[in-house]
Structure 1
């Protein structure tokens, strides 16, 4: 098979498209002919050599990627033969191997893809979608809500805008540049603003006075300005800091009584079921299958994984970045 192999930590150019041995499914595993592989911002950090929240060090050489969708084409011992030929999607956890034409994973990680959902859409929902649904557990949105979504053209941001719109909330989305703000408006935002325009906070205040919820995956100056717009009893839900770290005093945006970090154990504790991550995955796929959430996608050929990483790091993408062999 062909795969993207990282032999040395460093820039995106270190992602090499090359021929490698086909993976062999072990007991309880399946091999998937990959039709779409998800690219996550964390992938770019791991590629550069930064460990981040990964539970174990990355061992080189490695095939990056943790989200795949495709067709089951081989079974390991003990796997029900009914899986063969099924369209499936799976999150591989922190075991890499997704940027490839073939990937192996445990059968219990599989979800059958609904008939009306494509491979790329399914792979977006299995990772980005489950995170969005996890974040949304922490707030009830309705017609009285005024929601501010920084990075609203991103994978998670697009889904948060859609969900808030369908809940009847007033939605303000921030994005960089006219193309992205147009996409945010099309996703359901009542007001789409360019965060590179220093006047955006004043426009929000003039139109709405204050906001009730900030969904923050950005951090940095945008987060500080967004938090300053929160009204009484407002909520600042933090799920990332792509601009700069904001927790533990990293920039002054994390405010006691207003801000809450919602990733990790806090999110899983609310999801319920014996496997909380799987609970969120099922919810995300169901929302997409029913058309309530529609992931935005930026697609790259598998061989152009380096270009996909560069685009993601330079904020030149819209929605979820997906590689297609």
Structure 2
């Protein structure tokens, strides 16, 4: 099979296209002929070796990628809910392996898109992230109908899944923030935000408006400023660190005095031990996409352009997501 492999930790140039043996599905697994593999910020972190000293993290050589779309080629023993040739989207339990023309997935982490008329590039760009957004809202933030949501980095690959899922779960208002350079793109987005403002001035722009739930995958000064738009009972969900600022700290006494909550949401760590949550979350994501609430921008590149894809992830020039296709 054709694959994009990380030969060593380093910059985008360590991504190389190679030929590897095609894997076979074991019990409870499915072999997928991959049509599209999503590129995520976690792939960049893995390539950089940011988490290389953490237990269980991948070491070179390995194939990155945790979200794929394609068709079923073969079924492992005990798999009865899918059929050969069926179009599917899958998440990865290990967080790697997706940048390949063939991928072995756990059947429990897949969902069929057969007959739904959803473009596979959009499906892989949106469905897994929307599933994670559903879990973040329902299991961590405990979002209730009628509550308000603020999404930092509103057009980011992961963040873009949150406004649609918030609306689907009954949020009354969803506001996003973006850098000044992305305000023009924000005006054209089809994502269901009620308003998008400058992340550098959002506190002043929003005036007295406060939010029940804040989703922050940005970090740094944006995370610190988020406390200014919280009220007693507000929940700040830390879901990433696109800013690259790993030094931010929170005073726990401030949480107590202001009666606010800060929770971390790392989808792999949180959902890994709870595989039974994944299929229902993917089904909820399908409903969201079918309702037109996930119309994020998707750029499709080939495996041969994987270096370019990672360069764009690093310089943060992307509005939406990049997906790779074998050819």
Q: Secondary structure at the match of 1:93?
A: coil
SS in 2 for 1:300: strand
Tell me, yes or no, if structure 1 residue 180 matches structure 2 residue 178: no
- 1:246-305: CA deviation from partner (whole Å, max 9, x where unpaired): 7xx82448752313214259x969xx9871233322222232234344444232222211
Cα pair distance change 1:54/1:35, threshold 3 Å: farther
1:4 to 2:4 alignment: yes
Match of 2:15 in 1: 15
Supply the distance in 2 between the matched residues of 1:149 and 1:68 (Cα, whole angstroms): 25
Assess, with a 3 A threshold, how the Cα gap between structure 1 residues 231 and 112 changes in structure 2: closer, same or farther. Answer: same
- Residue 155 of structure 1 aligns to a residue whose secondary structure is coil
Residues 45 and 135 (structure 1), Cα distance of their counterparts in 2 relative to 1, 3 Å cut: same
Name the counterpart of 1:169. Answer: 172
CA distance in 2, matches of 1:141, 1:78: 38
Conserved? CA contact 1:114–1:289, under 8 Å:
no
- Please give the alpha-carbon distance, in whole angstroms, between the structure 1 residues aligned to 2:131 and 2:164: 14
Q: Report the aligned-residue RMSD.
A: 3.2
State the Cα deviation string for residues 201-231 of structure 1 (Å, max 9, x = none). 21211xx443333221211101111211223
| Alignment of 1:213 onto 2:213 | yes
Alpha-carbon distance change, 162 to 77 in structure 1, aligned in 2, over 3 angstroms: closer
- Residues 244, 250 of structure 1: 8 Å contact kept: no
Structure 1's consecutive aligned runs of 4 or more residues displaced over 6 angstroms after TM superposition are none
Deviation per CA, 1:170-189, whole angstroms, max 9, x where unpaired?
Answer: 332111223332245x4232
**Residue 91 of structure 1: CA displacement?**
1.2
For the residues of structure 1 that align with 2:210 and 2:127, how far apart are their CA atoms? 34
Structure 2: 5+ residue stretches without partners: none
**CA deviation after TM superposition for structure 1 residue 48, in Å:** 0.9
- 1:190 equivalent to 2:194? Answer yes
Q: In the aligned structure 2, how far is the partner of 1:30 from the partner of 1:277?
A: 16
Is contact 1:223–1:253 with CA below 8 Å preserved after alignment?
Answer: no
Look up the match of 1:229.
Answer: 229
CA distance in 2: counterparts of 1:215 and 1:112, whole angstroms? 28
Specify whether residues 86 and 220 from structure 1 end up closer, same or farther in structure 2 by C-alpha distance, changes over 3 A only.
same
Tell me if 1:140 matches 2:138: no
Give ranges in structure 1 of 5+ residues lacking alignment: none
Asked if 1 retains the 8 angstrom alpha-carbon contact of 2:110 and 2:279, the reply is no
Report the Cα offset of residue 66 of structure 1: 1.6
Distance 1:261 1:154 in 2: 20
Give the equivalent residue in structure 2 for 1:64. 64
Conserved? CA contact 2:143–2:213, under 8 Å: no
The alpha carbon displacement at 1:71 in A equals 0.8
TM-score using structure 2 length: 0.83
Q: Take 1:214 and 1:115, find their aligned partners in 2: how far apart are those partners?
A: 35
Q: Number of aligned pairs?
A: 316
Partner residue of 1:104? Answer: 104
Q: Is the 8 A contact 2:9 2:48 kept in 1?
A: yes
For 1:81 and 1:226, how far apart are their aligned partners in 2?
Answer: 44
1:263 equivalenced with 2:265 (yes/no): yes
